[in-house]
């Protein structure tokens, strides 16, 4: 039996889709992993008290607040988990860090570069006092993508030459779908670009170990008005799709596509990396697999790597080989890594600086698309 471990009080702000999956992660992480700190689901915050209480009861939270400021001020909260729309990330995260609370913040980090810079600076100051901050790019914790990173880092692909990354969904393709906060710039910051593009930018940088240095982009909005909650219609003020070319810091070229209008694609987050010695490909709709190619000859082709062996990243604590993992496991892996970093007094990855780097890419994409500029360099 493991010795008794300290607990860490979690306060979560927001309780919709991300709140549900984050709650599952906090509840289950210490039952499979062996983190140095055991999460205690102390309090959930939501603006509507009735809905917040219902979510707290369903997800296992001990208490409820209707004001996130009161959540941060509580003595039983040691870590603040931010699962709200992007327009509130900066204010909540900075206040939590200044109060000495660790922070986990959903992606994209913020709605603007200025907000992301302020958050990264607050995280640097907090780090000096032993307070940690991490941005929730959960796809880094897909075992197959983590294994892909290890293959690249180990030199198995040779020199990286070409990266292709797409994220395809279709849930907005029906123009009768009602308006949501994700379609308003003031709350979401951007559309498919921030919602989906942030993931594939981070995944490409994570797997290759490089960063984007410049982009050439275009964006488009296919449905300009949606039915409103109160009757009539509301204007859609974000992009429905974003496409861009890029160059990586090691010299490789890359292409990216994010859309919520690809009929038949439910959650097709894909990444292909071509090197001088081998290629690998990943599709989240087959998330337990990597496609791998090396060699030549008339019968050469990609072969499947089933990433379910105990020696593969994260997999050893779960099920026997061939018993597949799912979307929710990536968040359990995420909070396990965060708890390990807090316990060890080290910086978790990806930190707010990594979130800022992605935010600068998103900004460059929008600048290139809006000004029709052939190339926008990205500040490092």
Task: With CA atoms as reference, report the closest residue to 357 among 116, 155, 80.
Answer: 116
What does the block give as tokens for 124? 């640097």
Q: CB count, 10 Å around CB of 249?
A: 14
Report if pTM > 0.85. yes
The domain defined by 142-348+357-371 carries CATH number 3.20.20.70: no
Are the CB atoms for 101 and 78 separated by under 8 Å?
yes
Task: With CA atoms as reference, report the closest residue to 165 among 363, 358, 328.
Answer: 358
Alpha carbon distance 286, 124 (integer Å): 37
- Condensed to tens digits (0 to 9), the pLDDT of residues 301-335 reads 999 999 999 999 999 999 999 999 999 999 999 99
Q: CB count, 10 Å around CB of 300?
A: 10
- Condensed to tens digits (0 to 9), the pLDDT of residues 265-314 reads 999 999 999 999 999 999 999 999 999 999 877 778 999 999 999 999 99
> Can you point out the beta strands (E) in the chain?
6-13, 37-45, 63-65, 79-82, 102-106, 133-136, 160-168, 212-220, 225-227, 233-235, 241-248, 253-259, 268-275, 278-283, 289-294, 303-306, 376-377
- How many angstroms separate the Cα of 56 from the Cα of each of 16, 84, 93, 188? 11, 16, 21, 25
Which homologous superfamily is 6-138 in?
NAD(P)-binding Rossmann-like Domain (3.40.50.720)
In the chain, what are the domain boundaries?
A: 6-138, 142-348+357-371
What does the block give as tokens for 379? 């500040």
Sign of the CA dihedral with 338 first, then 343, 344, and 347 last = positive
- Condensed to tens digits (0 to 9), the pLDDT of residues 118-166 reads 999 999 999 999 999 999 999 999 999 999 999 999 999 999 999 999 9
- Condensed to tens digits (0 to 9), the pLDDT of residues 72-95 reads 999 999 999 999 999 999 999 999
Q: Max CA-CA distance within the chain?
A: 66
């Amino acid at each position: 039996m493991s010795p008794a471990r300290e607990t860490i009080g979690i306060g979560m702000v927001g309780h919709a889709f991300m709140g549900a999956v984050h709650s599952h992660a906090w509840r289950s992480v210490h039952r499979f992993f062996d983190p140095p700190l055991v999460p205690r689901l102390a309090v959930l915050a939501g603006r509507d008290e009735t809905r917040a209480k219902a979510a707290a009861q369903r997800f296992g939270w001990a208490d409820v607040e209707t004001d996130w400021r009161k959540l941060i001020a509580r003595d039983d909260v040691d870590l603040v988990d931010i699962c709200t729309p992007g327009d509130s990330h900066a204010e909540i995260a900075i206040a939590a860090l200044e109060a000495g609370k660790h922070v986990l913040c959903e992606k994209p980090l913020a709605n603007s570069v200025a907000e992301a810079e302020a958050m990264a600076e607050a995280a640097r100051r907090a780090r000096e006092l032993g307070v940690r901050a991490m941005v929730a790019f959960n796809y880094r914790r897909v075992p197959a993508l983590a294994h892909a990173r290890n293959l690249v880092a180990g030199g198995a692909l040779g020199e990286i030459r070409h990266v292709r990354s797409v994220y395809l969904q279709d849930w907005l393709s029906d123009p009768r779908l009602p308006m949501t906060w994700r379609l308003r710039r003031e709350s979401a910051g951007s559309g498919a670009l921030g919602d989906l593009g942030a993931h594939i930018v981070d995944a490409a940088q994570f797997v290759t170990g490089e960063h984007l240095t410049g982009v050439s982009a275009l964006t488009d909005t296919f449905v300009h008005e949606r039915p409103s909650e109160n009757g009539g219609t509301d204007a859609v003020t974000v992009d429905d799709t974003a496409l861009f070319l890029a160059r990586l810091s090691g010299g490789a070229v890359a292409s990216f596509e994010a859309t919520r209008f690809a009929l038949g694609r439910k959650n097709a987050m894909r990444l292909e990396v071509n090197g001088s010695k081998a290629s690998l490909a990943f599709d989240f709709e087959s998330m337990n697999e990597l496609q791998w190619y090396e060699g030549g000859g008339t019968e050469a082709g990609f072969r499947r790597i089933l990433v379910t062996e105990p020696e593969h990243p994260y997999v050893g604590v779960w099920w026997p080989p061939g018993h597949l993992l799912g979307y929710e496991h990536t968040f359990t892996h995420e909070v396990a890594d965060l708890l390990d970093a807090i316990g060890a007094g080290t910086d978790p990855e990806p930190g707010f600086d990594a979130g800022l780097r992605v935010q600068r890419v998103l900004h460059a994409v929008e600048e290139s698309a809006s000004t029709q500029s052939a190339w926008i360099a990205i500040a490092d």
